[in-house]
Structure 1
Amino acid sequence: MDCEPYFSLAGFAKVSWLEANHICNQVGSVLATVRNKEHHQLMLDYVFRNEKYFGNMTFWLGATNLVYRSYSWTWLSTGIPVTYAQWAKREPKSNRRGQDACLILDSGDHMWHSANCSEKNFFICENICMLDYSGLDKKVYI
């Protein structure tokens, strides 16, 4: 059986980053893992198609700098460091104490921001089949 790549926006509840990760995992997906500019644009296109429902919101993505002793931004789903990023000015704000250590996408400025992991935000899940890196730049399905 082929696995079709897709994103899904979770706008039913605002939750913490860890809760968002758990919810995505429960349905066989992960918090969105953005690997390149094209993938980021696919995700933005999906968010904008649904903007009438969500407006200017923030969404958890799957990166954190809470990785043991590294303090560098890493994708939780793969354990791979973040090499492509769309950080807003003066970002990331995270530090070695774990403050602002989780990643959000702001649909207002389309940029990434570091945020306190216990904040409540909507989130974007991504089908786990996307993590095999074989079809990363193909269509995004709802």
Structure 2
Amino acid sequence: MTWHEARTYCRSKYTDLASARNVSENKDIRSVVTDSNWIGLHRDTWAYWSNQRPRTFTNWDESQPNEIRQAENSCAAVSTSAGTWWDVDCNTKNHFICEKVYSRKKQTFKLKFRSEADMNDAAAQQQLLEQLHAQLEKHGLSDFKLRWTQKDGQTFHKEPKKKKSEGSCG
């Protein structure tokens, strides 16, 4: 598959394309591949894996990455011969390796936002959920649930404005 097709497949079936955060993980990837394989690195300055984790480790082959290729067409593949990474045109069809996260930790986030809309209106709530869902997926998150919680019988409430405390000189 192309790099983008492989990433879509991995995200739908597993977690994402594999990432190598250190020498050990790079060796693990190399040990299970038999050909050149896509990994989850795309040239957006090569700074982040496709799962949005910062890239802190590299194993580029000599003279790689290819600085001549346009950024939107540059994706990383791991070579089985040396376990080094190559800058390859993203539209090339390669094998790929997915990773799966087994231990899922529940995370809860509180969001604060301002809106002129009546957020007690069910249609406005649904529209906001859809927008949040789209943004999370755009940033690589695919396995999540969004829901409203209520406090004192209300889903949304205005927080009282905090009074600015007056400074004093000592």
Query: Same fold, TM exceeding 0.5?
Result: yes
- The alignment partner of 1:74 has SS state of coil
Bigger drift between 35-44 and 16-25 goes to 35-44
Cα 1:92–1:118 change in 2 (3 A) is: same
5 Å-filtered alignment, 1:1-142, equals: 15-47=1-33, 54=34, 57-65=35-43, 67=44, 71-80=45-54, 82-95=55-68, 97-98=70-71, 101-129=74-102
- The alignment partner of 2:64 has SS state of coil
Alpha carbons 2:30, 2:78 under 8 Å: kept: no
Shift of 1:130: 7.5
Shift of 1:98: 1.7
Q: Which protein shows a greater Rg?
A: 2
Shift of 1:28: 2.7
Aligned-CA RMSD value: 2.3
Aligned residues: 105
Bigger drift between 91-100 and 32-41 goes to 91-100
- The alignment partner of 2:26 has SS state of helix
Q: Percent identity?
A: 24
Alpha carbons 2:26, 2:83 under 8 Å: kept: no
TM-score after normalising by structure 1: 0.65
TM-score after normalising by structure 2: 0.55
Instruction: In structure 2, list runs of 5 or more residues that go unmatched.
Output: 106-170
